[in-house]
Structure 1
Amino acid sequence: MASVRTTRTVYLPSDPRTAAQFRSSGRLDRGEGISADDAYARRRDLDPAVPDDEEEADYWALTDAGLAGLAAAEGPRFVIAVRARPEQIVAAGPDGSGRVSVADVAWSQVSALFIDEAEALPAVAAARAALADPDAFAERTAALVTAHDLLWYAPEELDALLG
Protein backbone atom coordinates (compact mmCIF):
# COMPACT_ATOMS: atom_id res chain seq x y z
CA MET A 1 0.00 0.00 0.00
CA ALA A 2 1.47 3.36 -1.02
CA SER A 3 1.98 5.92 1.70
CA VAL A 4 0.32 9.32 1.41
CA ARG A 5 2.49 12.29 2.28
CA THR A 6 0.81 14.72 4.61
CA THR A 7 3.72 17.16 4.47
CA ARG A 8 6.47 18.04 2.00
CA THR A 9 9.93 19.30 2.76
CA VAL A 10 10.48 22.74 1.31
CA TYR A 11 14.01 24.12 1.28
CA LEU A 12 14.00 27.89 1.79
CA PRO A 13 17.11 29.91 0.86
CA SER A 14 17.81 32.24 3.76
CA ASP A 15 20.50 33.57 6.06
CA PRO A 16 21.11 33.18 9.81
CA ARG A 17 19.65 36.60 10.76
CA THR A 18 16.42 35.98 8.83
CA ALA A 19 16.19 32.54 10.45
CA ALA A 20 16.57 34.22 13.87
CA GLN A 21 13.73 36.61 13.03
CA PHE A 22 11.60 33.66 11.89
CA ARG A 23 12.28 31.86 15.17
CA SER A 24 11.65 34.99 17.23
CA SER A 25 8.28 35.70 15.62
CA GLY A 26 7.36 32.02 15.52
CA ARG A 27 5.94 32.35 12.00
CA LEU A 28 6.96 32.93 8.41
CA ASP A 29 4.21 34.74 6.51
CA ARG A 30 5.53 33.76 3.09
CA GLY A 31 8.65 32.17 1.65
CA GLU A 32 10.01 30.98 -1.68
CA GLY A 33 11.79 27.66 -1.90
CA ILE A 34 12.42 24.37 -3.64
CA SER A 35 10.58 21.11 -3.03
CA ALA A 36 11.32 17.74 -4.62
CA ASP A 37 7.90 16.88 -5.98
CA ASP A 38 7.43 14.02 -8.46
CA ALA A 39 7.94 16.23 -11.55
CA TYR A 40 11.16 17.64 -10.06
CA ALA A 41 12.48 14.11 -9.44
CA ARG A 42 11.56 12.95 -12.94
CA ARG A 43 13.30 16.00 -14.46
CA ARG A 44 16.48 14.67 -12.84
CA ASP A 45 15.80 11.16 -14.19
CA LEU A 46 14.85 9.90 -10.72
CA ASP A 47 11.89 7.73 -9.74
CA PRO A 48 10.12 9.30 -6.74
CA ALA A 49 8.71 5.87 -5.80
CA VAL A 50 12.24 4.53 -5.17
CA PRO A 51 13.48 5.56 -1.69
CA ASP A 52 17.09 6.17 -2.80
CA ASP A 53 15.87 8.31 -5.70
CA GLU A 54 13.53 10.23 -3.40
CA GLU A 55 16.48 10.96 -1.10
CA GLU A 56 18.62 12.07 -4.05
CA ALA A 57 15.83 14.37 -5.28
CA ASP A 58 15.73 15.95 -1.82
CA TYR A 59 19.51 16.41 -1.96
CA TRP A 60 19.19 18.26 -5.28
CA ALA A 61 16.32 20.40 -3.97
CA LEU A 62 18.50 21.39 -1.01
CA THR A 63 21.40 22.10 -3.36
CA ASP A 64 19.22 24.19 -5.69
CA ALA A 65 17.88 26.18 -2.72
CA GLY A 66 21.42 26.88 -1.56
CA LEU A 67 22.37 28.11 -5.02
CA ALA A 68 19.21 30.23 -5.26
CA GLY A 69 20.28 31.96 -2.07
CA LEU A 70 23.54 33.15 -3.62
CA ALA A 71 21.81 36.16 -5.18
CA ALA A 72 19.77 37.02 -2.12
CA ALA A 73 22.25 37.02 0.75
CA GLU A 74 25.91 37.57 1.56
CA GLY A 75 28.04 35.06 3.42
CA PRO A 76 27.60 31.31 3.35
CA ARG A 77 24.74 29.49 1.69
CA PHE A 78 22.04 28.98 4.31
CA VAL A 79 18.86 26.93 3.90
CA ILE A 80 15.91 26.35 6.21
CA ALA A 81 14.08 23.04 5.71
CA VAL A 82 10.41 23.14 6.66
CA ARG A 83 7.76 20.44 6.63
CA ALA A 84 4.86 22.18 4.86
CA ARG A 85 1.30 20.92 4.77
CA PRO A 86 -0.40 20.92 1.33
CA GLU A 87 -2.51 23.99 2.17
CA GLN A 88 0.65 25.93 3.05
CA ILE A 89 2.04 25.48 -0.46
CA VAL A 90 0.26 28.39 -2.09
CA ALA A 91 1.99 28.59 -5.47
CA ALA A 92 4.26 26.53 -7.64
CA GLY A 93 6.68 27.38 -10.42
CA PRO A 94 6.82 25.66 -13.79
CA ASP A 95 6.33 21.90 -13.70
CA GLY A 96 9.56 20.17 -12.78
CA SER A 97 11.24 23.31 -11.42
CA GLY A 98 10.53 22.44 -7.79
CA ARG A 99 9.90 26.12 -7.06
CA VAL A 100 7.12 26.72 -4.56
CA SER A 101 5.79 29.45 -2.31
CA VAL A 102 4.76 28.63 1.22
CA ALA A 103 2.59 30.66 3.57
CA ASP A 104 1.89 30.78 7.29
CA VAL A 105 4.66 28.38 8.35
CA ALA A 106 5.40 27.96 12.07
CA TRP A 107 8.97 27.74 13.40
CA SER A 108 7.95 24.38 14.90
CA GLN A 109 7.75 23.08 11.30
CA VAL A 110 11.47 23.68 10.76
CA SER A 111 13.11 20.28 10.50
CA ALA A 112 16.71 21.33 9.84
CA LEU A 113 19.09 24.15 9.04
CA PHE A 114 21.89 23.87 6.49
CA ILE A 115 24.94 26.09 6.15
CA ASP A 116 28.34 26.06 4.49
CA GLU A 117 31.44 25.29 6.50
CA ALA A 118 34.07 28.04 6.60
CA GLU A 119 36.27 26.22 4.07
CA ALA A 120 33.53 26.64 1.43
CA LEU A 121 33.38 30.44 1.68
CA PRO A 122 35.96 31.18 -1.06
CA ALA A 123 34.02 28.93 -3.48
CA VAL A 124 30.74 30.57 -2.41
CA ALA A 125 32.23 34.02 -3.02
CA ALA A 126 33.54 32.94 -6.44
CA ALA A 127 30.11 31.61 -7.45
CA ARG A 128 28.39 34.76 -6.19
CA ALA A 129 30.85 36.96 -8.09
CA ALA A 130 29.92 35.17 -11.33
CA LEU A 131 26.14 35.70 -11.04
CA ALA A 132 26.08 38.04 -14.06
CA ASP A 133 28.00 35.61 -16.31
CA PRO A 134 25.95 32.42 -16.93
CA ASP A 135 28.91 30.38 -18.21
CA ALA A 136 31.21 31.31 -15.35
CA PHE A 137 28.36 30.91 -12.85
CA ALA A 138 27.63 27.37 -14.08
CA GLU A 139 31.30 26.46 -13.84
CA ARG A 140 31.76 27.95 -10.37
CA THR A 141 28.55 26.53 -8.94
CA ALA A 142 29.49 23.09 -10.25
CA ALA A 143 32.83 23.41 -8.46
CA LEU A 144 31.07 24.62 -5.30
CA VAL A 145 28.50 21.80 -5.27
CA THR A 146 31.10 19.14 -6.06
CA ALA A 147 33.51 20.21 -3.34
CA HIS A 148 31.22 21.48 -0.57
CA ASP A 149 28.02 19.96 0.80
CA LEU A 150 25.87 22.04 3.07
CA LEU A 151 26.19 20.95 6.70
CA TRP A 152 23.10 19.85 8.65
CA TYR A 153 22.10 21.43 11.97
CA ALA A 154 19.09 20.93 14.20
CA PRO A 155 16.83 24.00 14.54
CA GLU A 156 17.87 24.20 18.21
CA GLU A 157 21.45 24.92 17.06
CA LEU A 158 20.57 28.26 15.42
CA ASP A 159 22.21 30.29 18.21
CA ALA A 160 25.52 28.55 17.56
CA LEU A 161 25.23 29.44 13.86
CA LEU A 162 24.62 33.09 14.69
CA GLY A 163 28.06 33.13 16.34
Structure 2
Amino acid sequence: MMKNTLQHCLPLIRFFSLSSEDFFQKVRPYKKFIKHQLYEELLESYLNPNSEPNDNILLPRSRNIDGIIDLKIVCLNIASLISRWIDKIDIKSKYAYARELYLPYKFKLLLRGSRDGFTPKKFHELCDNKLCTITFIKVKGTEEIIGGYNPLEWKSSGL
Protein backbone atom coordinates (compact mmCIF):
# COMPACT_ATOMS: atom_id res chain seq x y z
CA MET A 1 0.00 0.00 0.00
CA MET A 2 2.84 2.39 0.84
CA LYS A 3 4.56 1.63 -2.47
CA ASN A 4 1.37 2.50 -4.39
CA THR A 5 1.00 5.77 -2.50
CA LEU A 6 4.64 6.76 -3.03
CA GLN A 7 4.57 6.01 -6.78
CA HIS A 8 2.69 9.30 -7.34
CA CYS A 9 5.25 11.30 -5.33
CA LEU A 10 8.50 9.68 -6.45
CA PRO A 11 8.66 11.39 -9.88
CA LEU A 12 8.68 14.76 -8.08
CA ILE A 13 11.75 13.97 -5.98
CA ARG A 14 15.05 15.28 -7.28
CA PHE A 15 17.01 12.16 -6.36
CA PHE A 16 20.01 13.19 -8.44
CA SER A 17 20.31 16.43 -6.44
CA LEU A 18 20.90 14.61 -3.18
CA SER A 19 24.35 14.33 -1.68
CA SER A 20 25.77 10.82 -1.49
CA GLU A 21 25.30 10.94 2.30
CA ASP A 22 21.61 11.83 1.92
CA PHE A 23 21.19 9.10 -0.66
CA PHE A 24 22.73 6.53 1.67
CA GLN A 25 20.71 7.58 4.72
CA LYS A 26 17.38 8.66 3.22
CA VAL A 27 16.89 6.73 -0.01
CA ARG A 28 18.73 3.43 0.30
CA PRO A 29 16.53 2.22 3.20
CA TYR A 30 13.50 2.60 0.92
CA LYS A 31 15.03 0.79 -2.04
CA LYS A 32 12.12 -1.63 -2.31
CA PHE A 33 9.70 1.25 -2.99
CA ILE A 34 11.72 2.63 -5.91
CA LYS A 35 11.66 1.16 -9.40
CA HIS A 36 14.69 -1.06 -9.92
CA GLN A 37 15.92 0.82 -13.02
CA LEU A 38 15.75 4.21 -11.27
CA TYR A 39 17.57 2.84 -8.24
CA GLU A 40 20.33 1.38 -10.44
CA GLU A 41 20.72 4.71 -12.29
CA LEU A 42 20.93 6.54 -8.97
CA LEU A 43 23.45 4.09 -7.59
CA GLU A 44 25.58 4.39 -10.72
CA SER A 45 25.47 8.20 -10.56
CA TYR A 46 26.77 8.15 -6.98
CA LEU A 47 29.46 5.52 -7.58
CA ASN A 48 30.66 6.50 -11.05
CA PRO A 49 31.51 10.22 -11.46
CA ASN A 50 31.53 9.86 -15.27
CA SER A 51 28.10 8.31 -15.58
CA GLU A 52 25.76 10.33 -17.75
CA PRO A 53 22.47 11.30 -16.17
CA ASN A 54 19.24 10.22 -17.73
CA ASP A 55 17.63 12.89 -19.92
CA ASN A 56 14.51 13.03 -17.78
CA ILE A 57 16.15 13.89 -14.45
CA LEU A 58 15.02 17.02 -12.67
CA LEU A 59 17.83 19.50 -12.12
CA PRO A 60 18.25 21.18 -8.72
CA ARG A 61 15.48 23.55 -7.76
CA SER A 62 16.25 27.21 -8.04
CA ARG A 63 16.84 28.99 -4.80
CA ASN A 64 16.78 32.65 -3.89
CA ILE A 65 19.11 34.15 -6.47
CA ASP A 66 18.89 37.79 -5.45
CA GLY A 67 22.28 39.32 -6.03
CA ILE A 68 23.95 36.11 -7.25
CA ILE A 69 23.67 36.61 -11.02
CA ASP A 70 21.70 38.56 -13.61
CA LEU A 71 20.01 35.79 -15.58
CA LYS A 72 19.43 37.11 -19.09
CA ILE A 73 21.87 34.76 -20.83
CA VAL A 74 22.77 31.99 -18.38
CA CYS A 75 20.82 30.00 -15.84
CA LEU A 76 21.80 29.08 -12.28
CA ASN A 77 22.98 25.64 -13.41
CA ILE A 78 25.52 27.27 -15.75
CA ALA A 79 26.62 29.70 -13.03
CA SER A 80 27.05 26.71 -10.71
CA LEU A 81 29.04 24.81 -13.33
CA ILE A 82 31.33 27.82 -13.95
CA SER A 83 31.84 28.25 -10.19
CA ARG A 84 32.87 24.59 -9.93
CA TRP A 85 35.39 25.07 -12.75
CA ILE A 86 36.84 28.16 -11.08
CA ASP A 87 37.23 26.38 -7.74
CA LYS A 88 38.24 23.08 -9.37
CA ILE A 89 35.46 21.21 -7.60
CA ASP A 90 34.13 17.98 -9.10
CA ILE A 91 35.93 18.70 -12.34
CA LYS A 92 36.29 14.97 -12.99
CA SER A 93 32.53 14.51 -12.90
CA LYS A 94 30.96 15.92 -16.05
CA TYR A 95 27.53 16.02 -14.42
CA ALA A 96 28.24 17.33 -10.91
CA TYR A 97 26.05 20.36 -11.69
CA ALA A 98 23.05 18.02 -11.63
CA ARG A 99 23.83 17.00 -8.05
CA GLU A 100 23.43 20.38 -6.34
CA LEU A 101 23.87 24.06 -7.07
CA TYR A 102 27.26 25.45 -6.12
CA LEU A 103 27.04 29.24 -5.93
CA PRO A 104 29.77 30.66 -3.68
CA TYR A 105 30.10 33.86 -5.71
CA LYS A 106 27.99 36.88 -6.46
CA PHE A 107 28.34 37.73 -10.11
CA LYS A 108 28.32 41.47 -10.80
CA LEU A 109 27.23 42.51 -14.26
CA LEU A 110 29.87 44.88 -15.63
CA LEU A 111 28.75 45.20 -19.23
CA ARG A 112 25.68 44.21 -21.21
CA GLY A 113 26.11 44.67 -24.93
CA SER A 114 22.44 45.36 -25.56
CA ARG A 115 22.56 48.09 -22.93
CA ASP A 116 26.13 49.43 -23.08
CA GLY A 117 27.16 48.68 -26.66
CA PHE A 118 29.57 46.19 -28.16
CA THR A 119 32.65 48.36 -28.72
CA PRO A 120 36.13 47.50 -27.40
CA LYS A 121 36.30 51.03 -25.97
CA LYS A 122 33.16 50.49 -23.87
CA PHE A 123 34.39 47.04 -22.81
CA HIS A 124 37.67 48.45 -21.48
CA GLU A 125 35.94 51.45 -19.93
CA LEU A 126 33.75 49.15 -17.84
CA CYS A 127 36.00 46.10 -17.38
CA ASP A 128 39.58 47.36 -17.07
CA ASN A 129 41.28 46.82 -13.72
CA LYS A 130 38.76 44.13 -12.72
CA LEU A 131 40.05 40.76 -11.54
CA CYS A 132 38.40 37.40 -12.10
CA THR A 133 35.91 38.15 -14.84
CA ILE A 134 33.62 35.83 -16.74
CA THR A 135 32.42 36.66 -20.22
CA PHE A 136 29.20 35.21 -21.64
CA ILE A 137 28.25 35.87 -25.25
CA LYS A 138 25.01 34.70 -26.82
CA VAL A 139 25.47 34.05 -30.53
CA LYS A 140 22.86 36.04 -32.40
CA GLY A 141 20.16 33.95 -34.04
CA THR A 142 21.06 30.81 -32.08
CA GLU A 143 20.77 29.42 -28.58
CA GLU A 144 24.56 29.01 -28.41
CA ILE A 145 26.43 30.65 -25.54
CA ILE A 146 30.20 31.02 -25.56
CA GLY A 147 32.49 32.60 -23.02
CA GLY A 148 35.46 32.34 -20.79
CA TYR A 149 37.00 33.04 -17.41
CA ASN A 150 39.91 35.45 -16.92
CA PRO A 151 41.59 35.27 -13.49
CA LEU A 152 43.78 38.27 -14.38
CA GLU A 153 42.69 41.88 -14.66
CA TRP A 154 41.86 43.50 -17.97
CA LYS A 155 44.17 46.28 -19.11
CA SER A 156 43.52 48.75 -21.89
CA SER A 157 46.12 48.91 -24.60
CA GLY A 158 45.59 52.57 -25.44
CA LEU A 159 42.09 52.35 -26.91
TM-score using structure 1 length:
0.24
Structure number with the higher helix fraction is 1
Structure with higher Rg: it is 2
By relative contact order (CA 8 Å, sep 6+), the higher-ranking structure is: 1
TM-score relative to the length of structure 2: 0.24
Q: Which has the higher strand share?
A: 1
